Amino acid sequence: MPDDPRPARDEPADAEPARAEPARDEPAGGRLPMVDGLRLALTTLTVLPVGTGRIDRRSAAVAMSVAPLVGALLGALLAALFVLLGQGLLAATVTVAASALLTRGLHLDGLADTADALGSYRRGDAALEIMKKSDIGPFGVAAIALTLLIQAAALTGLTPWAIVAAWAAGRLGVTLACRRGVPSARPEGLGALVAATVPVPVVVLATAAVAAGAVWAVPGRPWQGPLAVAGALLVTVLLVRHAVRRFGGITGDVIGAAVEVATTVTLIGLAVR
């Protein structure tokens, strides 16, 4: 597997990582799955060049479980940029653009591909074929445009801590989408690697942690942050269930869509007054 496990734009977002080290019952070279999982999470969800270690479902389970932590780290970087630029509309727009750059636009790509597949009203393999195409259709363009517009507009009136909370909640969508009981739509690819790897108790703990951190997202309204997170999770659950019905399971694109949907819904929930 190359240092960056994520595919280029002209490949499906859930293409199977290449040259992955063979899975073994014991960690290679004495490494723990936690270390490899953290590295996999950082290389999958950000552009940080930390490289990859052993890649199997054990490390994938760790990576998907700690995704909210990676989201909080990314949110902290974006919050610093937001403050540096003055916290206005321009700052919000640049912050959203920086988020896309720091993730190589892969979540937005997944959102677009998922929107095109769902918008086709096709099911199963026919829908998955649409998702694999390298071009973006009208549903995908609309999904990206609306998502970026809403995120920038919502950020304008929010605090830096709200950014941390929203980006953590967005990656909580990854943890939720990869929970036990949710199948992969394909027998290979990123979806097959990470699907159903996260135990439900881990999802509950991660949700509680993100909701607790969101208490301080809106000054004077400690209830609003947790409610925004809850709303994001509800929408993500509905998205994943619909994907399972239409595609037969999740893919890397669906996971990317879950990130953007959860982030956007959280931002809306935090911005409402």
pLDDT digits (tens, 9 = 90+) for 71-90: 999 999 999 999 999 999 99
Of 208 and 11, more confident: 208
Indicate the angle between helix axes 67-84 and 57-65, nearest 10 degrees: 40
In a domain, 14, yes or no: no
In a domain, 127, yes or no: yes
Residue 1 has pLDDT above 60, yes or no: no
pLDDT value of residue 273: 86
In a domain, 5, yes or no: no
Residue 24 has pLDDT above 90, yes or no: no
Of 43 and 19, more confident: 43
**Domain ranges, residue 229:** 66-271
The mean pLDDT value for 145-170 works out to 97
In a domain, 115, yes or no: yes
pLDDT value of residue 8: 41
CB atoms within 10 A of CB 94: 17
| Tally of structural domains, the chain | 1
Of 154 and 121, more confident: 154
pLDDT value of residue 32: 66
In a domain, 41, yes or no: no
Residue 17 has pLDDT above 50, yes or no: no
CB atoms within 10 A of CB 126: 12
In a domain, 35, yes or no: no
Residue 206 has pLDDT above 80, yes or no: yes
- Among 15-29, 36-50, 163-177, 258-272, whose mean pLDDT is lowest? 15-29
Indicate the angle between helix axes 160-177 and 252-271, nearest 10 degrees: 150
In the numeric block, which tokens belong to residue 225?
A: 């942050």
Q: List C-alpha distances in Å: 125 to 46, 128, 241.
A: 30, 5, 17
- Among 45-59, 112-126, 171-185, whose mean pLDDT is lowest? 45-59
In a domain, 57, yes or no: no
In a domain, 165, yes or no: yes
pLDDT value of residue 55: 86
